[in-house]
Chains A and B, each alone.
Chain A
């Protein structure tokens, strides 16, 4: 059986994330709350505070307690998956199965919170709002949420990867014009890091941020007193 490159990088990222979280847990347990946080502890505290404020701003206290850990792990996973290309791994988010699963998780969470808030009767009624024939439009809008969430992440990361490979080919053919050392892609080494900074790091952070912002606000929309 042949293992797909994407599957391998998903496994590597998951193992790396688990080890990182174990390390952070040990650091946080040894941390004295009265002293000044430094290094990775400061980073983790800032990150947790940011996500917590975002979730609390859009939802209520009861939901935020369970939603914040999920949002934090999804943000970390998408960020690590987006920058996996920098570490010579296949980028998992440029595979549609991975982003479809992430989008489907968000859609299931939206339905679960809607069901919890409205109860059985209200939930069934919410599919027929405002009139009975609108059920078709409601179904379509739920499907389009799933499609747009997953396709946005997929399209952005895939287009970044394809543009980078096109640029590498172009720079390779330019550097062939240089005699003697031209076979080695020397122009690419100089030009490509700036583009990697934009297409991998900046776009990766942006897309992870957009994904979690949309997830939080779609769930917040289902709650009455937010």
Chain B
């Protein structure tokens, strides 16, 4: 019973990644759109998009980390 609850808690944690996925996709959409409008600035836009995506991904990584901690430390 306790193990099932821990698994459920870990699954709930990873749900935080959903929002990050949606909005990281939005970063990519905006980057593609702005490269289409202004192809000369593609180098700058590319690096900015990667940095933005990577920084907002941090949130999802923390969710994943908490899930790992629940599974491997509390569940062990």
Interfacial residues, chain A to chain B (CB-CB below 8 A): 54, 57-58, 148, 151-152, 155-156, 158-159, 162, 209-210, 213-214, 217
Contact = CB atoms under 8 A, between A and B. Distances in A.
Contacts of A54: 47
Contacts of A158: 68
A84 B26 CA distance: 33
Nearest to A96: B65
Contact of A155 (B43, B47, B65): B65
A113 B47 CA distance: 21
A159 B68 CA distance: 9
| Majority DSSP secondary structure for residues of B touching A | helix
Given A158-B68, A159-B64, A151 B58 contact: yes
Contacts of A151: 58, 61-62, 65
B9 interface: no
Contacts, number: 33
A54 B43 CA distance: 10
Interface string B24-57: 0000000000000000000100010011001101
A148 B47 CA distance: 18
Interface of B: 43, 47, 50-51, 54-55, 57-58, 61-62, 64-65, 68
A152 B68 contact: no
A74 to B, nearest CB: 16
Contact of B58 (A152, A162, A209, A217): A152
The residue in B50, B61, B65 that gathers the most chain A C-beta atoms within 10 A of its C-beta is B61
12 contacts: A54-B47, A148-B55, A148-B58, A151-B61, A152-B54, A152-B58, A159-B64, A210-B50, A213-B47, A213-B51, A213-B54, A217-B47
Contacts of A213: 47, 50-51, 54
A214 B54 contact: yes
Nearest to B14: A159
A155 B54 contact: no
The residue in B54, B58, B62 that gathers the most chain A C-beta atoms within 10 A of its C-beta is B54
A23 to B, nearest CB: 32
Contacts of A217: 47, 51
A188 B73 CA distance: 29
Contacts of B51: 213-214, 217
Contact of A210 (B43, B54, B65, B68): B54
A88 to B, nearest CB: 23
A76 B65 CA distance: 26
A211 to B, nearest CB: 9
A152 B47 contact: no
Contacts of A58: 47
Contacts of B65: 151, 155
Nearest to B72: A162
